[in-house]
Amino acid sequence: MKPGEIRPGVERDFELAVHRPEAAGADGLDELTAMAEEEIRFLVSQGRTPDAARAQVAARLGNPATAAAVMRSAQRRESRLKVHDWLDDLRHDAGYAFRTLVRSPALAATAILTLALAIGANTAIFSAVSAVMLRPLPFAEPSRLVMLWEENPDFHWVREDAAPANMFDWREQSGVFSGVAGYLSFSGTSTLTGRGEPRMLRAQTITGNFFEVLGVRPAAGTALTEADTWSDAPRRLMLSWRAWQNLFGGDRALIGQALELNGRAVAVAGVLPRGFEFPGIDADVWMPVRWDKEAASQVWFRRAHFVKVVGRLKPGLRFEAANAGLQTVVNRLKQQYPVTNVHMGAGMTPLHEFLVGKTRLPLLVMLGGVGLLLLIACANVANLLLVRAAGRERETAVRLALGAGRGRLFRQALAENAVLALVGGAAGVGLGAWGTRVLSALQPAGMLPVSGIRLSSAVLLYALGVTLLAAVIFGVAPTLWTARRVAADVLRDEGRTASATLRARRWGEALLVSQVALALALMLGAGLLVRSYLLLQRVEPGFDPRNVLAVELNLPGIRYDSTRKVLAFYEALEREARALPGVETAAVASGVPLGPPMWSSEFSIAGRPPMERGGEVLHREISAGYQRVMRVPLLRGRLFSDADEADGVRVVLINQALADRYFRNEDPIGRRISFDRVPDSTSYWRTIVGVVGSERQRGLAEPPRPEFIAPFGQDSRSGMTLLLRSAGDPAALAPALRAIIARLDPLLAISSIRTMESVRADSLARDRFLTVLMLCFAGVGLLLGVVGVYGVMAQLATRRMREMGIRIALGAKATQVQWLVVRHGALLTVIGIVTGATLALVGARVIRTLLYQVAPLDPVTFVAVPLLVLITAVLASWVPALRASRSDITMVLRAE
Amino acid sequence: MLLKGTLDALVLKALSFGPRHGFEITRWIEAGSQGEFPIEPAALLQALHRLEERRCVTAAWGTTENNRKARYYTLTPAGRAHLRSETASLKSSVAALTALLGAR
Report ipTM for this prediction.
0.90
Q: What is the pLDDT of residue A9?
A: 52
* Residue from the list B24, B49, B55 with its beta carbon closest to the beta carbon of A73: B49
Please judge whether A28 and B60 are an interchain contact, meaning their C-beta atoms are less than 8 angstroms apart: no
Best mean pLDDT range from A467-471, A504-508, A771-775: A771-775
Q: What is the pLDDT of residue A807?
A: 83
Mean predicted confidence (pLDDT) in A821-842: 90
Interface residues of chain B, partner chain A, Cβ below 8 Å = 18-19, 21-24, 26-27, 40-42, 45-46, 49-50, 52-53, 55, 58, 60, 62-64, 66, 68-72, 74, 76
* Residue from the list A3, A28, A84 with its beta carbon closest to the beta carbon of B55: A84
Residue A657 near residue A632 (C-beta atoms within 8 A): no
Give the Cα separation of A280 and A277 in Å (integer): 9
Q: pLDDT grade, residue A737 (50/70/90)?
A: very high
One-letter amino acid at B61 equals: W
Measured between CA atoms, the residue of chain A closest to residue B49 is A77
Q: What is the pLDDT of residue A15?
A: 47
Phi, psi angle pair for A209, to nearest 5°: -90, 10
Residue A138 near residue A351 (C-beta atoms within 8 A): no
CB-based contacts of A451: which residues, under 8 Å, 6+ apart? Answer: A275, A277
Measured between CA atoms, the residue of chain A closest to residue B61 is A3
- Cα of B72 to nearest chain A Cα, Å: 7
Task: Taking the CA atoms of A619, A620, A624 and A630 in sequence, report the sign of the dihedral they define.
Answer: negative
User: What's A849's DSSP letter?
Assistant: G
Measured between CA atoms, the residue of chain B closest to residue A35 is B23
* Residue from the list A2, A42, A61 with its beta carbon closest to the beta carbon of B62: A2
Q: pLDDT grade, residue A451 (50/70/90)?
A: low
**Greatest C-alpha distance within chain A:** 145
Residue A470 near residue A383 (C-beta atoms within 8 A): no
User: What's A751's DSSP letter?
Assistant: S
- Cα of B52 to nearest chain A Cα, Å: 7
Q: What is the pLDDT of residue A2?
A: 44
Q: What is the pLDDT of residue A1?
A: 39
pLDDT of A499 strictly over 60 = no
Name every chain B residue with its beta carbon within 8 A of the beta carbon of A74.
Answer: 45, 49
Give the Cα separation of A855 and A859 in Å (integer): 8
User: What's A132's DSSP letter?
Assistant: I
Q: What is the pLDDT of residue A264?
A: 86
pLDDT of A526 strictly over 80 = yes
Task: Name the average pLDDT for chain A.
Answer: 85
- Cα of A94 to nearest chain B Cα, Å: 20
CA angle A686, A692, A697 (to 5 degrees): 95
Name every chain A residue with its beta carbon within 8 A of the beta carbon of B70.
Answer: 34-35, 38
Of A351, A443, A519, the residue nearest A127 (C-alpha): A443
Q: What are the start-end ranges of the H helices in A493-558?
A: 498-538
Phi, psi angle pair for B69, to nearest 5°: -70, 135
Helix and strand numbers (H, E) in chain A are 27, 24
Mean predicted confidence (pLDDT) in A245-265: 89
Strands A686-692, A651-655: pairing kind? parallel
Best mean pLDDT range from A82-91, A353-362, A368-377, A803-812: A368-377
Name every chain B residue with its beta carbon within 8 A of the beta carbon of A37.
Answer: 68
User: What's A353's DSSP letter?
Assistant: H
Higher pLDDT, A589 or A716: A589
Sheet of B57-63, strands arranged across: B20-21, B69-75, B57-63
Q: Looking at the DSSP assignment, which residues form a beta bridge with residue A551?
A: A722, A753
Q: What is the pLDDT of residue A449?
A: 65
Helix and strand numbers (H, E) in chain B are 4, 3
Phi, psi angle pair for A107, to nearest 5°: -65, -45
Neighbours of A883 (CB within 10 A): 15
Residues of A (32-51) whose Cβ lies below 8 Å from B: 32, 34-39, 41-42
- Cα of A38 to nearest chain B Cα, Å: 7
Give the Cα separation of A654 and A677 in Å (integer): 17
Mean predicted confidence (pLDDT) in A190-197: 82
Please judge whether B22 and A60 are an interchain contact, meaning their C-beta atoms are less than 8 angstroms apart: no
Mean predicted confidence (pLDDT) in A484-509: 60
Give the Cα separation of A351 and A180 in Å (integer): 12
Residue A602 near residue A675 (C-beta atoms within 8 A): yes
pLDDT tens digits for range A217-247: 999 999 999 999 999 999 999 999 989 998 8
Mean predicted confidence (pLDDT) in B10-29: 92
Please judge whether B49 and A74 are an interchain contact, meaning their C-beta atoms are less than 8 angstroms apart: yes
Measured between CA atoms, the residue of chain B closest to residue A11 is B60
pLDDT of A577 strictly over 80 = yes
Please judge whether A38 and B40 are an interchain contact, meaning their C-beta atoms are less than 8 angstroms apart: no
Q: pLDDT grade, residue A892 (50/70/90)?
A: low
User: What's A696's DSSP letter?
Assistant: -
Residue A186 near residue A597 (C-beta atoms within 8 A): yes
Return the percent helix, strand and coil in chain A, to nearest 5: 55, 15, 30
The answer to whether A83 contacts chain B (CB < 8 Å) is no
Q: Is the pTM of this model over 0.95?
A: no
Q: pLDDT grade, residue B73 (50/70/90)?
A: very high
Task: Taking the CA atoms of A390, A396, A400 and A401 in sequence, report the sign of the dihedral they define.
Answer: positive
Please judge whether A3 and B40 are an interchain contact, meaning their C-beta atoms are less than 8 angstroms apart: no
Of A372, A386, A679, the residue nearest A516 (C-alpha): A372
Please judge whether B21 and A38 are an interchain contact, meaning their C-beta atoms are less than 8 angstroms apart: yes
Output the CA–CA distances (angstroms, integers) from residue A546 to A93, A323, A632, A700, A765, in the order listed.
65, 48, 13, 16, 18
Q: What are the start-end ranges of the H helices in A337-350?
A: 338-341
Mean predicted confidence (pLDDT) in A298-308: 85
pLDDT tens digits for range A850-867: 888 888 888 888 899 999
Q: pLDDT grade, residue A3 (50/70/90)?
A: very low
Q: What is the pLDDT of residue A493?
A: 52
A781-817 burial, b at 16+ Cβ within 10 Å, e below that, comes to bbbbbbbbbbbbbbbbbbbbbbebbebbeeeeeeeeb
pLDDT of A826 strictly over 70 = yes
Q: What is the pLDDT of residue B99?
A: 92
Chain A and chain B share a number of CB contacts under 8 A equal to 88
Higher pLDDT, A267 or A796: A267
The answer to whether A579 contacts chain B (CB < 8 Å) is no
Please judge whether B21 and A73 are an interchain contact, meaning their C-beta atoms are less than 8 angstroms apart: no
User: What's A558's DSSP letter?
Assistant: T
pLDDT of A186 strictly over 80 = no
Name every chain A residue with its beta carbon within 8 A of the beta carbon of B50.
Answer: 73, 77
Strands A719-726, A672-674: pairing kind? unpaired
Element (H, E) at A722: strand A719-726
Q: What is the pLDDT of residue A889?
A: 64
Q: Which of A2, A31, A84 to mutate to test the interface with B (most CBs of B within 10 A)?
A: A31
Of A382, A375, A373, the residue nearest A791 (C-alpha): A382
Mean predicted confidence (pLDDT) in A409-425: 82
Q: Looking at the DSSP assignment, which residues form a beta bridge with residue A183?
A: A206, A308
Name every chain A residue with its beta carbon within 8 A of the beta carbon of B27.
Answer: 42
Q: What is the pLDDT of residue A387?
A: 75
pLDDT tens digits for range A635-652: 999 999 887 877 788 899
Q: pLDDT grade, residue A501 (50/70/90)?
A: low
* Residue from the list B22, B26, B46 with its beta carbon closest to the beta carbon of A69: B46
Higher pLDDT, A17 or A857: A857
Mean predicted confidence (pLDDT) in A338-353: 88
CB-based contacts of A825: which residues, under 8 Å, 6+ apart? Answer: A512, A789, A793, A796, A873, A874, A876, A877, A878, A881
The answer to whether A85 contacts chain B (CB < 8 Å) is no
Strands A651-655, A707-711: pairing kind? antiparallel
* Residue from the list B40, B60, B70 with its beta carbon closest to the beta carbon of A34: B70
The answer to whether A61 contacts chain B (CB < 8 Å) is yes
pLDDT of A27 strictly over 90 = no
User: 3-class DSSP state for residue A55?
Assistant: helix
Q: What is the pLDDT of residue B28?
A: 93
* Residue from the list B46, B60, B74 with its beta carbon closest to the beta carbon of A73: B46
Neighbours of A638 (CB within 10 A): 12
**% of chain A surpassing 90 pLDDT:** 32
